[in-house]
C-alpha cells in the first residue's frame, strides 16, 4: 500500500460518518478518480472501506484499529 492509501485510511479513521470522495480529494490535493482508485486498491485485500451511494466512504466498524479509537477519545474528536 502506498502513502496516499495510508493517508486515506488515517483520514477515514478520524471521521465519525461517511465522507465524500470530493472531500478526500481536496484534503490530499488529488483528483476524485485517484481517490476511487486508491480506495479500490485498499479494498482489494480486505473490504475495510464501506461505500454508500450518495453518502461517500467510511471505515467499516471492524476495521478501525484500537489506536485510532484511543486517539479520537484522547483528542476529544
Q: What is the pLDDT of residues 1-51, one digit of tens each?
A: 789 999 999 999 899 899 999 999 999 999 999 999 999 999 998 889 999
**Could you tell me the pTM of the whole model?**
0.76
pLDDT for res 66: 56
Closest CA to 38 of 9, 5, 12: 5
Q: Which residue has the higher pLDDT, 33 or 77?
A: 33
Hey, is 2 helix, strand or coil? coil
The domain limits of the chain are: 3-75
CATH of 3-75, one of 3.40.50.300, 1.10.10.10, 3.90.550.10, 3.40.109.10: 1.10.10.10
| Contact yes or no for 39/49 (Cβ under 8 A) | yes
Q: What pLDDT, on the 0 to 100 scale, is given for residue 1?
A: 77
48/4 Cα distance (integer angstroms): 16
pLDDT of residue 61: 66
List residues bridging with 19 in a β-sheet. Answer: 57
Tell me how far apart the 2 most distant CA atoms of the chain are, in Å: 34
Residue 58, pLDDT score: 95
Amino acid at each position: 500500500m502506498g502513502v496516499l492509501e495510508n493517508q486515506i485510511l488515517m483520514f477515514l479513521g478520524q471521521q465519525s460518518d461517511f465522507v465524500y470522495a470530493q472531500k478526500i480529494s481536496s484534503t490530499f490535493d488529488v483528483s476524485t478518480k485517484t481517490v476511487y482508485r486508491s480506495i479500490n486498491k485498499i479494498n482489494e485485500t480486505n473490504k475495510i472501506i464501506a461505500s454508500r451511494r450518495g453518502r461517500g466512504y467510511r471505515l467499516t466498524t471492524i476495521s478501525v484499529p484500537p489506536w485510532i479509537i484511543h486517539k479520537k477519545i484522547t483528542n476529544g474528536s
